[in-house]
Amino acid sequence: MRFRTLFLLILGLGWAGNPVRGATELPFSFIDGMIWLKINVPTSALPLNFLLDSGASSTVLDLKSGIRLGAALGRRETAQGAAGQIETYQIKDFRGTFGAMALPRSILAVDLRAVSGGLHQKIDGLLGADFLKDRIVQVDFRTRKIRFLESNELSEAGMEILPLKRRNDVLCVEVSVAGQPHEWMRLDTGCRDALQWVSKTAMNEAVKSNVTAPSIKTDVRLGSLKLQSVPTGLHEKPMFRGEAGLLGNGLLSKFTFTIDSVRGRLLLLK
């Protein structure tokens, strides 16, 4: 879950069997339940290994990688993460690209060594929600492609369209769990689990059942779409203020999905 992997930060769909004509299309790898991207920087002969992490408010460069690349680190500060306070350094003139797409110039440097533990390779950075701002980004797990679309390239035929709301500088989507009213959860491609849900009642029931790591399998509703027996981690208290949990890759990977930050929408295609 995110607490064991990406606990750090405060932090489409024109496809119908063929790629969207005219869209910028770039490959990704889906390993360890994460979306891996190759990021180019002028000071490295080899591309860096980043994760697409919509649950992180800011794009992040691993501190050790930043030092190796000669990045100019600003003063040390602290930020609130899901597991408590973390140390960060501002980098104000980062020059990274994903294909021809420029990464944010102002990013954070954070020690990601603990996050890389248990994964198949070291994480050099996280491509956060700031990269998604004012963009339409489609993630196609079938073809392992990410597409950057213009509004006129985005077909809504056959799509489930859900509203996105910005909270804590990230995007949140409405999710209904176990027949309960819809709640706002963080859209989190940095979480490899299907769902993490804040429910004191469900948590207490799990504890009564002597579950070591409280979790359940339950029905989840996204708009009119109903998914059954979704593995769901339970939490008694919110991980982030005003958010009822995390919607992660374990569920998102069942769809081709588009994050339309321009219009504030999440589009899902089964």
CB atoms within 10 A of CB 144: 14
| pLDDT tens series, the chain, 270 aa | 443 334 334 332 233 333 344 469 999 999 999 999 999 999 999 999 999 999 999 999 999 999 999 999 998 987 766 556 789 999 999 999 999 999 999 999 999 998 898 899 999 999 999 999 999 999 999 999 999 999 999 989 999 999 999 999 999 999 999 999 999 999 999 999 999 999 999 988 877 776 666 889 999 999 999 999 999 999 999 989 999 999 999 999 999 999 999 999 999 999
Integer-rounded Cα Rg, in Å, for the chain is 18
**Measuring CA to CA, which residue among 70, 71, 68 is closest to residue 59?**
71
Tokens of 154: 């985005």
Domains of the chain are: 24-151 (2.40.70.10), 159-269 (2.40.70.10)
SS3 per residue for the chain: CCCCCCCCCCCCCCCCCCCCCCCEEEECEEECCEEEEEEECCCCCCCEEEEECCCCCCCEEEHHHHHHCCCCCCCEEEEEECCEEEEEEEECCCCCEECCEECCCCEEEECCHHHHCCCCCCCCEEECHHHHCCCEEEEECCCCEEEEECHHHCCCCCCEEEEEEEECCEEEEEEEECCCCCEEEEECCCCCCCEEEECHHHHHHHHHCCCCCCEEEEEEEECCEEEEEEEEEEECCCCCCCCCEEECHHHHCCCEEEEECCCCEEEEEC
* CA–CA distance, 196 with 181 (Å, rounded to integer): 16
pLDDT at 10: 33
**Measuring CA to CA, which residue among 255, 92, 264 is closest to residue 184?**
264
pTM score over 0.85: yes
